[in-house]
Amino acid sequence: MSTYQLNKAVYTLTRTQDRASFNAQSTEYFADFDLNDDERQALTRPDFCRLGELGLLSNLLYRYFAFCGYRHDDFHAMFRREGAAALKGAGHDG
Partner 1 sequence: MARVALGIGTSHLAMFLRDIPDADPAQVASLRSGFETLAAALAAEAIDVLVVISGEHVNKFFLDNLPAFAVGTAASYWGPVDNVPLEKRNIPGHARLAAHLLQYGMSNGIDWARVDEWPLDHGMVVPLHFLDPSARIPVVPIFVNCAAPPGPSLARCQDVGEKLAEALRQWDEDANIACIACGGLSHSPGDPRMGWIDEAFDREFLAMLEGGQSASIAAISEERIWEAGSSTSEIRAWAMLSGIFKNQRMDVITYEPIEAFGTGCAQVVVSSKGSH
Site string for partner 1, 28-67 (x = CB under 8 A): --------------------xx--x----xxxxxxx--x-
Residue type, 82: E
- Do 38 and 54 touch, CB atoms closer than 8 A? yes
Distance CA 14, CA 43 (A): 13
Q: Which is nearer to partner 1, 22 or 62 (CB)?
A: 62
Tell me how far CA of residue 87 lies from CA of 16, 80, 93, in angstroms. 36, 10, 7
Decide: is 70 part of the binding site for partner 1 (CB under 8 A). no
Size of the site for partner 1 (CB under 8 A): 27
Residues 6 or more apart whose CB falls under 8 angstroms from that of 65 comprise 48, 74, 75
Nearer to partner 1, 38 or 67 (CB): 67
Q: Which parts of this chain interact with partner 1 (CB under 8 A)? A: 4, 7-8, 11, 48-49, 52, 57-63, 66, 72-73, 75-76, 79-80, 82-83, 86-87, 92, 94
